[in-house]
Amino acid sequence: MDKFMFGRYIPGHSWVHKLDPRAKLVMSFMYIGVVFFANNFWTYLVMTALLLVSVLATAIPIGVFLRGLIPLFWLMIFTVLIQVFFGAGGHVYWQWGWLSVTHNGLTSAGLILMRFVLIILISTILTFSTQPLAIADGIESLLSPLRKLHFPVATLALMLSLALRFVPTLMDEAEKIMNAQRSRGVDFGAGGLRQRIKTIVPILIPLFVNAFNRAVDISTAMEARGYQDGEQRTKYRQLKWQRADTISFIVFVISLSAVIVIRYMS
Amino acid sequence: MAIIQVKNLSYKYHNSDTLAVDDVSFDIQAGDWVAIVGHNGSGKSTLAKLLIGLMPAQEGVITIDGQELSEQTVWQIREKVGMVFQNPDNQFVGATVADDVAFGMENRQVDRETMQERVTYALKQVDMLDYQQREPANLSGGQKQRVALAGVIAIAPKILILDEATSMLDPRGRREILQTIKRLKDELNLTVLSITHDIDEAASADRILVIDDGHFIEEDDPNSIFSHGSALIEMGLDVPFSEKLKLALSTRGLDVPATYQDEGSLVDWLRTLRSTK
């Protein structure tokens, strides 16, 4: 579990850490959108430069970011190889049966790899520098225009924040159940696929039953504390848009528009 | 004046044949600390849920602070009553300590400045101010219950109901939270109704209400209740340590006093016994 860095939050006090989650969410989405416009050396140069500046601004060592790429390593290799061997068109360097390495194949493989890395890194910046709660707040705030369409934004936000709050609790519980079942002789991770799936059942069922009981308790406690679904509530936590957000946002908008301009100029 | 009045209250779960609460009536005076005791499954927790309308009773009338509980008044009544439940994890709604304390106020549409003030105030009262930004996963059971208590204080209720609030805590956490509640009760002029089978918690109450299998058995002050000694044990209840010692002494032929004595007065009695021998 410790090696799995993707989607983690790393506490800090950097420029990026202090940004408004809404700003970070929007900037990440814009960046991911524009990645697909980038198609030549100069556009990728701008994209990479923007990413590097953001990475540096998080004050998190680059090694940690690279470790975030490890779980997706095989997926990257797989897509790149498919592109290399099945890409058609341009100068043919090598051919064997229906496999061929062509100029276009190599270029598109390079592009895909580049896009992969850029998208993963920008989302890693978001998750490394933003608490899950702040992300939930940001999503709620960004979705709030949907209220006009009678979309239950507040309910969704409460569900999201409750879900996030119970992730560690449920993880603890799963661990406890696993150990309890181990002590009764269940051998996890042994045997073939069928056997392994069978050993999951004694974890899953108690976990589900407990989750149901928990849900009943929580809803009782919430009701006792005056929660009425669909009623207006005030909010304790508030997001504040600051100057740093505006500055970062402008930097992103300018750089990303530059990418699009370069693409259509050349 | 009685702040809680319960008259002929009955409740039956739809999948059960017997009444969980059977024709129970009692009054609780404002400012009192009342403990409801009874063995597991005697209907105590059901009673607590009925009191704030989490379940509708089939029969009987509940009046809280002059207002009769009904579908129309249930939310107004919940404004006046704060409740702390048993499981520390399953009542922690907020993402952090401060958020959890604010939850009840958010529901009452308190504005943000007031909320911030009251969160600080409530956390200071339970001595958890330094933990404001902590997440529940990093808190002990006793700390979570203190946060739950702070959430109740923040809405300034008149009545505090503890539904076995200390039963999942270790002895130290239990002592700490009871001390805090005792202090708050006097400072905020609360009426406390504690549902418990912890005998020390019951012993610190002004009055004790005994419930057995949904029936109301009796109501009296702790001294009189505990002097029943063995009758309580037969009901599946525990008795304080001093009472157990008295029972053990009487089976060994010692002529122990019939009235209830706490540990201090029992020690005194033993001393005088020794000196007169």
- Work out the minimum CA distance from A169 to partner chain B, whole angstroms: 6
Give me the total of CB pairs closer than 8 Å, taking one residue from chain A and one from chain B: 91
Its domain, for residue A36, covers 21-265
Write the DSSP assignment of chain B as a string of letters.
-EEEEEEEEEE--TT-SS-SEEEEEEEEETT-EEEEE--TTSSHHHHHHHHTTSS--SEEEEEETTEE-STTTHHHHHHHEEEE-S-SGGG--SSSHHHHHHHHHHHTT--HHHHHHHHHHHHHHTT-GGGTT--GGGS-HHHHHHHHHHHHHHT--SEEEEESTTTTS-HHHHHHHHHHHHHHHHHHT-EEEEEE--HHHHHTSSEEEEEETTEEEEEE-HHHHHTTTHHHHHTT----HHHHHHHHHHHTT----SS---HHHHHHHHHHHHHH-
pLDDT 10s digits, B105-114: 999 999 999 9
Cβ contact, residue pair B155, A228, below 8 Å: no
Chain B environment of A221 (Cβ under 8 Å): 83, 85, 90-91, 93
Q: Which of B91, B96, B107 sits opposite A226 (nearest CB)?
A: B107
Tokens of B65: 């602070």
Q: What percentage of chain A carries pLDDT values higher than 90?
A: 35
Task: Say whether pLDDT at A215 is over 60.
Answer: yes
Residue A118 within a domain: yes
Residue A109 has pLDDT above 90, yes or no: no
Q: Which residues of chain A make contact with B105, given a CB cutoff of 8 A? A: 234, 236
Query: pTM (2 decimals)?
Result: 0.81
Per-residue model confidence as pLDDT tens digits over A168-190: 888 889 999 999 999 998 888 77
Non-local (6+) Cβ contacts of B209 within 8 A are: B26, B34, B35, B36, B37, B216, B218, B219
Mutate to test the interface with B, among A170, A234, A238, A239 (most CBs of B within 10 A): A234
Q: Per-residue pLDDT averaged across A94-98, rounded?
A: 72
pLDDT at A118: 92
pLDDT of residue B277: 66
Mean pLDDT of all residues in A239-248: 90
Contact B137 A169 (CB under 8 A): yes
Distance from CA of B129 to the nearest CA of A (A): 16
Query: For residue A168, which residues of chain B lie inside 8 Å, CB to CB?
Result: 135, 137
CB contact under 8 A, B106 and A169: no
Look at residue A133 and tell me if it is in a domain: yes
Ranges of chain B with pLDDT below 70: 1, 277
**pLDDT for the residue numbered A50:** 93
The answer to whether residue A14 sits within a structural domain is no
Is B141 touching A (CB cutoff 8 A)?
no
Report the pLDDT value the prediction gives residue B152, as an integer from 0 to 100.
93
Task: Tell me which chain A residue has its CA closest to the CA of residue B101.
Answer: A236
The CA-based dihedral angle spanning residues B108, B113, B117, B120, taken in that order and rounded to the nearest 10 degrees: 90
- Local confidence band at A6 (pLDDT 50, 70, 90 cut-offs): low
Number of domains within chain A: 1
For residue B52, which residues of chain A lie inside 8 Å, CB to CB?
A: 224
Chain A nearest-CA distance from B251, in A, is 43
Banded pLDDT at A7 (limits 50, 70, 90): low
Q: Do A249 and A23 form a contact (C-beta atoms < 8 A)?
A: yes
**CA–CA separation, A5 and A2 (whole Å):** 7
- Mutation test of the interface with chain B: which of A13, A222, A225, A240, choosing the one with the most B Cβ atoms within 10 A? A225
pLDDT band at A90 (very low <50, low <70, confident <90, very high): low
Looking up tokens 């993402």 gives B95
Q: Nearest residue on chain A to B85, judged by CA atoms?
A: A221
**Closest residue of B to A217, CA-based?**
B90
Identify the residue among B107, B115, B152 best suited for mutation to test binding to A, counting A beta carbons within 10 A and taking the highest: B107
pLDDT for res A2:
46
Q: Which residues of B touch A136 (CB under 8 A)?
A: 95
Q: List domains and CATH numbers for chain B.
A: 2-239 (3.40.50.300), 240-276 (no CATH)
Q: Give A-chain residues touching B95 at CB under 8 angstroms.
A: 133, 136, 161, 164-165
User: For residue B116, what pLDDT is reported?
Assistant: 93
Task: Say if A245 falls within a structural domain.
Answer: yes
| ipTM for this prediction | 0.86
For residue A176, the model assigns a pLDDT of 93
User: Residue A1: what pLDDT?
Assistant: 42
Confidence band, pLDDT 50/70/90 cuts, at residue A210: very high
Residues of A in contact with B51 (CB under 8 A): none
Residue B93 touches partner A, C-beta closer than 8 Å: yes
Q: Could you give phi then psi for residue A140, rounded to 5 degrees?
A: -60, -50
Between chains, do B107 and A169 touch, taking CB under 8 Å as contact?
A: no
DSSP state at residue A191: S
Closest CB to B107 among A133, A214, A227: A227
Q: Is A63 exposed, middle or buried (0-12, 13-18, 19+ CB in 10 A)?
A: exposed
Burial-class residue A204 by CB neighbours within 10 Å (0-12, 13-18, 19+).
exposed
Is the pLDDT confidence value at A144 over 70? yes
Residues B49, A220: C-beta atoms closer than 8 Å: yes
Task: Describe the crossing of helices B97-107 and B112-125 by its angle, rounded to 10 degrees.
Answer: 130
